[in-house]
Structure 1
Amino acid sequence: MNRRDLMKTALAGAGMLPLQGALAASPERGKRPQRTFLLVHGAWHNALHWTRVTEALVARGHRVVAIDLPGHGLNARFPASYVAGATARFGEERSAQADITLEDCATAVVSALEKLRQGGTKPVLVGHSVGGAVITRAAELAPQLIDRLVYLTAFCPVKRGSASACAALPEARTGYGETLFLGDPAKLGAVRINPRGDAGYLEALRVAYYQDVPTAGFLPFALSLTPDLPLSLWTSKTGATKERWGRIPRGYIRCTQDRAIAPALQDLMIREANALTPGNAFTVESLESSHSPFASQPEALAALLDGAR
């Protein structure tokens, strides 16, 4: 057995197989999955960050696919200065993925939806953080492929247009994370962090995004991050309309201890979306969690997703 077959066998034994930048997991053979979930990560993250939620959903009888967006996970391209550990140049080198757009990411989601639809499945589409902007655009492009949208403490910029426009509001201020970003995003073509930073930097990252996860548990998540969020995901408009995006049933999972997307901003985006489609309002649930419940409360999060109707 060669190395590739050995890895494939190990992943299959865990209920997971890599599928072109995705992780797919299904219930035990012979059991019909109850629902299918397509999970979309947020900035700097990737499909692996959903692993514990995936396991919990599969244990409840669901099929789960988590994808790597363009510029993330196995699709990431790295600044040469980041690879070389050249800290001074890292704050100035233009991103190798500055050309990646929100449309590229939404199209990748639609492609995954189409493949699932070919198998007779219409999934629940879940987006976390900036992934909310991605699923909003994907839903506008292909509403017929989606059973339900779920925003996990995510940007839902249907009135403001973009994630950055929402983040500029007074409701967005938390006082955390502002010193984490490197360089000028306009010059870099990306919103840049340093997952290879020193202990002080990593602690500031934990406190801003994962404050309810102990350091030892946080580090595997942190060291799996990639440094560059392509700027378009932050600044491009989703183009959401009530006729297309607005016709899909949707839910929002609020995270009440979030220091990245403040609860006040979450609530504002919910209200604005409901004003656009008063006949199709969000169903809203809350978790007493940081910005990263997939790390701190995967079982509780899976239970909420399991109950999403």
Structure 2
Amino acid sequence: MNEQSDNRAGGGWSRRGVLSAAAAGAGAVAAVGAGAPAAQADGRRRGAPTFVLVHGSGSNSYGWSPVLAELGLRGHRTIAVDLPGHGAGACFPLSYQSPQDLDRLATEPSPIGGVTLADFAEHVVGVVRAAHRNGPVVLVGQSLGGATLNAVANRVPELIAHLVYASAFCPTRHTSVNDLMATPEGATSALFEIPPVRTPPELGVNRVNWRSADPVFFAAVKEALAADRTDTEVRALLATLEPDESAAIGSADSRGLADRWGRVPRTFLRFTEDRSIPLALQDLMIREADGTTPRNRFRVRSVPAPHVGPRDAAVWGDELERVAESYRQG
């Protein structure tokens, strides 16, 4: 596939723990906060979409800030959501603060342990309903956020003009995100090299100590998330991430249903340098989704970017504007 663009019609820790807790969804790019419309001036022009951005594991709306700014400057209505238990609602255990208490960090409970994929979907459905009053909605998800996209599209396909998976999980033939990561295509994920905090299963959380001073940890995180960034940029990224994710998200049945999710036009932004969701796994998800709805196949765009996405927010802007144009053309 062309590196720049490829248009097609279209128990214990280890794999389960790494998948949801590490940046399987550390999501977009790190920067300043969001959560509300970024621009109104030109965004109300007839037929213009509202972009609703969904973060991944351990992230929040803050991570979409450069994309919000870029789309806002281009005159688009854009909203970045904080999923339940994230953003202003995130829990930062006292043992995670400085000085850290690593023994306590391994056992300290978090309210996000009770959060489900249904909770995520309910929240985003509410945002989509509100945004839809102003016109078409383009729903964008990155990494673990793709599971939420599937769940939302299963519920309200009629409210979504287009789905965009930015190197995001899209189960169709495999039941869950965990099942996808257990495939041979997922076996090379660099997420498996990130040391987790080994919490007891009853806490219901996957936890990562992003504030660790261990150089081995830092090297593993940089390799998995942002190998093209400087060490300073990676440290800035880690400062925006949240330690906990609900373990229930990765194990939930998040298959896109052919008669619901499968009705919505969709695009896959294929990050060719992603070492967290390997290219082979991205391609597997695309093939399985296309096989599930052969009359509604992914439009595929290949972007030379690591897991956190393109360094230049203008690339995000260009790709999402292409999506808006494609759904207008049908």
What TM-score comes out, normalization by structure 2 length? 0.82
Distance in 1 separating the partners of 2:255 and 2:285? 15
Q: Does 1:26 align with 2:42?
A: no
Runs of 4 or more, structure 1, over 3 Å off, are 27-34
Q: Report the alpha carbon displacement of residue 231 of structure 1 after superposing the two structures with TM.
A: 0.9
Alignment correspondent of 1:274: 290
The CA distance in 2 between the partners of 1:220 and 1:210, in whole Å, is: 11
Once the two structures are superposed, residues 231-279 of structure 1 have per-residue CA deviations (whole angstroms, 9 ceiling, x without a partner) of 1111101242111100000000000111110000000000000001000
Q: Contact 2:185–2:281 at 8 Å: present in 1 too?
A: yes
1:158 aligns with 2:178: no
- Are 1:301 and 2:313 counterparts? no
Q: How does 1:1-309 map to 2 (within 5 A)?
A: 22-28=35-41, 32=45, 34-83=48-97, 85-118=100-133, 120-174=134-188, 176-178=190-192, 179-184=194-199, 186-198=201-213, 200=215, 201-293=217-309, 296-308=311-323, 309=326
Q: Which stretch shifts more, 173-182 or 155-164? A: 173-182
1:199 CA drift (Å): 5.0
C-alpha distance in 2 between matches for 1:293 and 1:141: 28
Gap runs ≥5 in structure 1: 1-15
Task: Report the 3-state secondary structure (helix = DSSP H, G, I; strand = E; otherwise coil) of the residue aligned with 2:190.
Answer: coil
Output the amino acid matched with 1:283.
R
Distance verdict in 2 for CA 1:188–1:297, change over 3 Å: farther
The offset of 1:32, in angstroms, is 3.3
Q: Secondary structure at the match of 1:292?
A: coil
The aligned amino acid for 1:98 is G
Residue type of the alignment partner of 2:262: G
Residues 31/230 of structure 1: CA separation in 2 closer, same or farther (3 Å cut)? closer
My pick for the range that moved more, 242-251 or 186-195, is 186-195
Distance 1:105 1:279 in 2: 29
| Aligned equivalent of 2:12 | none
The amino acid of 2:127's aligned partner reads A
Q: What is the TM-score of this pair, normalised by structure 1? A: 0.87
Against the structure 1 CA distance between its residues 144 and 185, is the aligned structure 2 distance closer, same or farther, given a 3 Å change threshold? farther
Q: Distance in 2 between matches of 1:158 and 1:292?
A: 23
Matched length: 289
What is the CA RMSD across the aligned residues, in angstroms?
A: 2.1
Unaligned runs of 5+ in 2: 1-31
d(CA) in 1 for partners of 2:200, 2:37: 33
CA distance in 1, matches of 2:51, 2:78: 5
Letter aligned with residue 101 of structure 1: T
Measured in 2, the distance between the counterparts of 1:185 and 1:270 equals 34
**Equivalent residue number for residue 5 of structure 1:** none
Change (3 A) 1:235 1:146: same
SS in 2 for 1:251: strand
SS of alignment partner, residue 301 of structure 2: strand
Change (3 A) 1:175 1:109: closer
Name the aligned partner's letter for residue 127 of structure 1: G
Letter in 2 for 1:111: G
Tell me which moved more, 193-202 or 45-54. Answer: 193-202
Contact kept, 8 Å, 1:124 with 1:147, in 2: the verdict is: yes
